[in-house]
Amino acid sequence: MKLRKVTAASAAVFALALTATACGGDDSGDNGSSSSGGGGKIKIGIKYDQPGLGLKTPQGYEGFDVDVVTYVAKELGYEPDQIEWVETKSAERENALSRGDVKLIAATYSITDERKQKVDFAGPYLLAHQDLLVKADSDISEATDLNDKKLCSVTGSTSAQNVKNDFAPKAQLSNRGGYSECLSALQNGQVDALTTDDSILAGYAAQDQYKGKFKLAGLKLSNENYGIGVKKGDTETVDKVNKALEKMVSDGSWDKAVEENFGPANYKNERAPKIGQLVQ
């Protein structure tokens, strides 16, 4: 076999190519995040339309989910300016992770057995409950008080139907396209209460235009364990995120985030849940 002679020039080119591959190669993966932070980016899925949890504003992104996952990202080696936020609606969360569109999802993502078949979860980082939001002067304090009253929920949600089935069979259900529409209807007296997770209700009620106008009934109609979604099989990332969440609780950052995002609505949150332990 005849060997081709390698000249000094071609050897130099080859060496440069190797150097470029080692220093500037793309090790970010499909979701645009490197394994150890540094100069890379990390794509994180959040909600864009939930005040108090995940909200896109002209100034940036804010909310409890945003604060939690920003803390987590920093522990993974990413500064806030290295985070690329991706709107991740409820119906697209599993697909976004499986496709590698995002590395993490923090978007009021309740951990369920069905979802655990498709994705892995770190956490939980918040225990929420289905609750009622009513006017500040309302005498509604129990779900059974909703008999013959108008109950608003978002189209496609099962929350209102659950109340009707389990607590107030005579409740009159009124669906709207979004929570903001339900709030307007509640404020105008068109409905008597709004139902969904207490964390979501508290986030809306904490907005400046609604402060002091609404209150949470303080019911616990269900348990919702919010977790951070990770691609199925990525146990290394799950372990790192769990360690970050434990640190966030221990150093007081978790309590601070709760107060800043939900405090104005007088949200009586549960204590930080134990990592890896779900409340059924």
157/130 Cα distance (integer angstroms): 12
Q: In the prediction, which pLDDT does 180 show?
A: 86
**Does residue 275 lie within any of the structural domains?**
no
Least confident among 6-15, 63-72, 195-204: 6-15
Q: Residue range 153-165: average pLDDT? A: 87
Same-domain status, 100 and 206: no
Q: Residue range 179-194: average pLDDT? A: 94
Tokens 């995040």, residue?
A: 33
Same-domain status, 120 and 259: yes
Rg (CA), the chain: 23
**Does residue 241 lie within any of the structural domains?**
yes
Task: Give the DSSP H or E segment for 143.
Answer: none
Domain finish residue from 216, 244, 273: 216
**Does residue 2 lie within any of the structural domains?**
no
Judging by DSSP bridges, how do beta strands 60-62 and 54-57 pair with one another?
antiparallel
User: Is the pLDDT confidence value at 15 over 80?
Assistant: no
Domain finish residue from 195, 216, 237: 216
Least confident among 80-89, 137-146, 173-182, 232-241: 173-182
pLDDT tens for residues 79-125?
999 999 999 988 899 999 999 999 999 999 999 999 999 999 999 99
Residue span of the structural domain in which 60 resides: 42-127+225-265
Same-domain status, 62 and 140: no
Domain finish residue from 177, 196, 216: 216
Q: Residue range 134-146: average pLDDT? A: 95
Tokens 């899925």, residue?
A: 45
Same-domain status, 198 and 82: no
Q: Which of 158, 157, 154, 135 is nearest to 145 (CA)?
A: 135
**Does residue 22 lie within any of the structural domains?**
no
Same-domain status, 134 and 209: yes
Same-domain status, 87 and 72: yes
State the CATH number of the domain containing residue 70: 3.40.190.10
Q: In the prediction, which pLDDT does 32 show?
A: 55
195/132 Cα distance (integer angstroms): 5
| Mean pLDDT score across all residues of the chain | 87
126/240 Cα distance (integer angstroms): 18
Same-domain status, 84 and 140: no
**Does residue 28 lie within any of the structural domains?**
no
Same-domain status, 121 and 245: yes
Q: In the prediction, which pLDDT does 151 show?
A: 97
**Does residue 99 lie within any of the structural domains?**
yes
Q: Cα 250 to chain center, whole Å?
A: 21
Task: Indicate the pLDDT class of residue 179, thresholds 50, 70 and 90.
Answer: confident
234/214 Cα distance (integer angstroms): 42
Same-domain status, 119 and 135: no
Q: In the prediction, which pLDDT does 39 show?
A: 66
- Contact between 201 and 207 (Cβ < 8 Å): no
Q: How many domains does the chain divide into?
A: 2
Same-domain status, 260 and 232: yes
Same-domain status, 202 and 246: no
Hey, how many other C-beta atoms are within 10 angstroms of the C-beta on 55?
A: 20
Q: In the prediction, which pLDDT does 36 show?
A: 54
**Does residue 117 lie within any of the structural domains?**
yes
Q: Residue range 69-74: average pLDDT? A: 98
Listing from the earlier edge strand, what are the strands of the sheet with 49-50?
A: 49-50, 54-57, 60-62
- Contact between 223 and 179 (Cβ < 8 Å): no
Same-domain status, 122 and 134: no
